[in-house]
Amino acid sequence: MSELFDFPKVEFLGGAKGVNFLDAKGYNFYNPEEVFTINGKTKSMKDWMKFSVAYWHTMDQRMVDPFGEGTAERPWDVDGVDDVTSMEQALKKVDYMFEFMDKLGVEYFAFHDRDLAPEGKTLAETNSNLDKVVDKIEQKMQETGKKLLWNTSSLFTNKRFLAGGATTPFADVFAYAAAQIKHSLEIAKRLNSESYVFWGGREGYESLLNTDTKRELDHIAKFFKLAKLYANEIGYTGQFLLEPKPKEPTAHQYDTDVQTTIAFLKTYDLEKDFKLNLEGNHAYLAGHTYEHEARFAREAGLLGSLDANMGDKQTGWDIDEFPNDIYEATLVMYEFIKNGGLPTGGLNFDSKVRRASFKAEDLFYAHMAGMDVYAAGFRVAMKMIEDNFLENIYKERYASFDTGIGADFENDKATFADFEAYILNKTNEEIFATVESGHLEAIKATLNNYIYSVLGSTFNK
Ligand code: XLS
Ligand code: NI
Ligand code: NI
């Protein structure tokens, strides 16, 4: 087959072609075959990072916004249009998807059921359309060795889901959602999907005045249990993931952030069956940083996968920008490495090009830029961990709990009466003399120094 995209195969150049990304058309920091050791395990960079292309953005996104039409120019368009009702078009896009991954050197991809094929008049017709595209994907996966990072089901696009999928007040709609997920799990099994994601697109509410929140949460928890039951029944062993996000599209999304989602999982005894898929932009919307979400998920043993994107700090909605912030990428990769990587997850670009970046080549630049910034962050974080940079800070800062009254407390040997007896012997001055500076300015400057030194030496190698 002749080439579909007019773009060269992207390779690691390591700065050899200079700083201009548009000219160099290569990776400066993403060197797929370079090996790294984490917790005694040695793997290539590509096997650690597991970058993934998101079908819904890269193949389906037309860059429509509330004020204007789509701007995307895509080589599979017929007369400038992506006919989303056409099966022929849906099948054609699979070829482009696989060539795109091949040229970028990305091994994984992710999709929603509804990204792949048009809906029919009944679920049976819809499933049959979907299966035709899945047949082709399966064949392409066999030919190329590409892998499915995760798949998911859209319980939010079709109008029937206007009041939710698993939290809808309407039993027929709920039944449809369950039947839809059943088929998606069959696809996950068939394509050997490493994880299965549930993002609760419309699982939330607008107003308490017409919402029985308890009943809705009980329903969705039961829905998840039935999903697990069915996965077990068909022998699908991929990791289930919930993807937290606040306030979009419903005003009050049930899975607002990591800690809220953990509370939900614990309340309904679901935490053994689920981990979390985190997303940068969702963290911002929740009023957190991406690294905050990664830290809390990791510490709970629930860091499953990452949707690598960013938001805009001035904008209050999910803009799914391709990542380009080295500071954030470094701190998220710190959590990633501390987690021992993501055995059943990866870095999925749930990201879209800006509306003005309408050329097909921008899809390449965008993924390359995102891969490079995360590969760069990975390198910096590896060095920080090798030096125990943050570990030493944490250790020193809490050192007073390693001996004396602090250690007694940690070892369950101190009561409130012991604390009182201990502290009544001291003056206020003596107590404040034990308090140390947080040195945050110096710590941040050291972090910057790590970025300059690690990346400078890689780029100029
Ligand atoms: C939307 C979500 C969505 C999930 C998959 O904001 O990020 O894209 O990742 O349904
Ligand atoms: Ni999102
Ligand atoms: Ni996402």
The residue among 331, 423, 425 whose CA lies nearest residue 384 is 331
Q: Closest residue (by CA) to atom 4 of ligand 1?
A: 199
Residue 13 lies inside a defined structural domain of this protein:
no
Quote the tokens at residue 10.
């992207």
Angstrom distance (rounded) from CA 351 to CA 30: 18
**C-alpha 5 chain-centroid distance:** 27
Q: Do the domain assignments include residue 139?
A: yes
Q: Are 384 and 332 in contact (CB under 8 A)?
A: no
**What's the pTM?**
0.97
* Alpha carbon distances (Å) from 219 to 203, 243, 271, 272, 384: 11, 18, 17, 19, 45
Residue that terminates a domain, selected from 321, 356, 386? 386
307 lines ligand 1 (CB under 6 A): yes
Per-residue pLDDT of the chain (461 residues; tens, 9 = 90+): 579 999 999 999 999 999 999 999 999 999 999 999 999 999 999 999 999 999 999 999 999 999 999 999 999 999 989 999 999 999 999 999 999 999 999 999 999 999 999 999 999 999 999 999 999 999 999 999 999 999 999 999 999 999 999 999 999 999 999 999 999 999 999 999 999 999 999 999 999 999 999 999 999 999 999 999 999 999 999 999 999 999 999 999 999 999 999 999 999 999 999 999 999 999 999 999 999 999 999 999 999 999 999 999 888 889 999 999 999 999 999 999 999 999 999 999 999 999 999 999 999 999 999 999 999 999 999 999 999 999 999 999 999 999 999 999 999 999 999 999 999 999 999 999 999 999 999 999 999 999 999 999 999 87
Same domain, 452 and 333: no
Q: Is residue 244 included in any domain, yes or no?
A: yes
Residue 197's closest CA among 310, 109, 104, 102?
109
* Residue 259 shares a structural domain with residue 239: yes
- Please report the pLDDT score of residue 146 as a whole number: 98
> Which candidate, 56, 47, 26, 114, places its Cα nearest to that of 350?
56
pLDDT recorded at residue 1: 56
Domain span at 432: 390-459
The answer for residues whose C-beta is within 8 angstroms of residue 335's C-beta and 6 or more apart is 291, 294, 295, 298, 303
Catalytic residue list contains 77 = no
Say whether both 361 and 423 belong to one domain.
no
Residue 417 lies in a domain: yes
Q: How far apart (Å, rounded) are the C-alpha atoms in residues 99 and 87?
A: 19
Q: What is the 404 CA–ligand 3 centroid distance (Å)?
A: 47
User: Exactly one of 115, 255, 257, 372 is catalytic; which is it?
Assistant: 115
Which among 386, 403, 430 is the end of a domain?
Answer: 386
The pLDDT value given to residue 80: 87
Task: Write down which residue in 325, 356, 386 finishes a domain.
Answer: 386
Within-domain flag for 325: yes
* 394 in the same domain as 382: no
83 is catalytic: no
CA distance 337 to 342: 9
Q: Domain with 316 in it: what CATH number? A: 3.20.20.150
Is 72 part of a structural domain of the chain? yes
**Backbone phi, psi, residue 111, to 5°:** -150, 160
Q: How many Å apart are CA 54 and CA 330, to the nearest integer?
A: 22
Is residue 399 included in any domain, yes or no? yes
Domain count, the chain: 2
Give yes or no for a contact between 103 and 10, defined as CB atoms under 8 angstroms apart: yes
Q: Is 113 in the pocket of ligand 1 (CB under 6 A)?
A: no
Is residue 370 domain-shared with residue 400, that is, in the same domain?
Answer: no
In a domain, 1, yes or no: no
- The pLDDT, as a whole number, for residue 313 is 84
Give the CA distances from residue 312 to residues 63, 199, 316, 377, in Å, rounded to whole numbers and listed in that order.
Answer: 17, 21, 8, 19
- Helix and strand numbers (H, E) in the chain are 18, 14
258 and 315 belong to one structural domain: yes
Could you tell me if 358 and 226 lie in one domain? Answer: yes
Can you read off the two tokens belonging to residue 112?
């929603």
> In this structure, are 359 and 400 located in the same domain?
no
